[in-house]
Chain A
């Protein structure tokens, strides 16, 4: 896929409100099975339906910490592509994730916030939860290069 083709996909997805259309073009997002919808306020809400292949601890069982990290990072990437002016994929500079609770073998949700967007750098925070938003499973923050 060329950069221009990706731009078309992003623009089209935004125009038609086709949130899932964007996700379908990111192989890793398909691999972990993540999806996206818009909440009542029109903000992206990310979903990671439970799949046995995302398990990292069979004894608990719990999702793999890497899956939670990848889910949060990809949520931040797509959130930024959905909400900001540019249509290319931002480059991750660095990424921090804090694991607050064990991620059980159930559906997981995430939402993001662009804390600051400058000309070159964006700072995005992402939170994921399972049973209740007030009980986050993990929080992450990402610095992106926007060029």
Chain B
């Protein structure tokens, strides 16, 4: 078991600064319009604003499951970053989504993810997607991530002033 204190608890501003803008720098997150709403030690909340380009079913206007998959993957990743003791590259091992009910057409979708267990190698995460009421989810998700997954030297793009 890993009991390393999260970087978020030691330096929340640094994590907020890194990840607040970080998702906007990822091309596909920008393409979907993902926005960071909130984050805390081991958890994060993202939002995807409704747009006609994201529709999966042209007869109903419901968002494509792939949009929710990207939202969940990104939110789970954010939760892991907010739980890690230091900045590391991570990679999704697997992701499961249960689509509990169709999202209301035209309304934004939020996702809240929590990294509920961190080992030396693996991070376990669960998440819910909702619209107006977090207690009334449209989808739930579980995911596992690998830690320190990347062979790349810099897991994050260089940023000005750092």
Contacts and interface: CB of A to CB of B under 8 A. Distances in A.
B26 A58 contact: yes
B27 A27 contact: no
Contacts of A31: 31, 53-54
B28 A67 contact: yes
Q: 3 closest pairs, A vs B, by CB?
A: A70-B66, A66-B70, A28-B64
Given A5-B59, A26-B56, 19 more contacts: A26-B64, A31-B31, A54-B28, A55-B26, A58-B27, A58-B157, A59-B156, A59-B157, A65-B73, A66-B66, A67-B70, A69-B73, A69-B95, A70-B65, A70-B66, A73-B69, A89-B59, A91-B99, A94-B96
Interface residues of B, number: 44
B26 A28 contact: no
B25 A64 contact: no
Interface of A: 1-3, 5-6, 25-28, 30-32, 52-60, 63-67, 69-71, 73-74, 77, 88-89, 91-99, 102
Nearest to A76: B65
A38 to B, nearest CB: 22
Contacts of A63: 28
Contact of B58 (A6, A32, A99): A6
Question: Counting chain B CB atoms within 10 Å of each CB, which of A54, A60, A74 scores highest?
Answer: A60
Interface stretch (B36-44, B114-122, B147-155): B147-155
**Interface SS of chain A:** mixed
B127 to A, nearest CB: 13
Given A6-B59, A27-B58, A70-B65, A56 B29 contact: yes
Contact of A92 (B91, B99, B157): B99
Interface centre among B28, B30, B71, B152, by most chain A C-beta atoms within 10 angstroms, is B28
A96 B69 CA distance: 10
Contact of B28 (A30, A66, A94): A66
17 contacts: A5-B59, A27-B55, A28-B53, A52-B27, A53-B30, A58-B26, A58-B27, A59-B150, A66-B73, A66-B74, A69-B69, A69-B70, A69-B73, A70-B64, A73-B66, A92-B99, A95-B96
A99 B95 CA distance: 8
Interface string B52-80: 11111111000111110111111000000
A113 to B, nearest CB: 19
B94 A93 contact: no
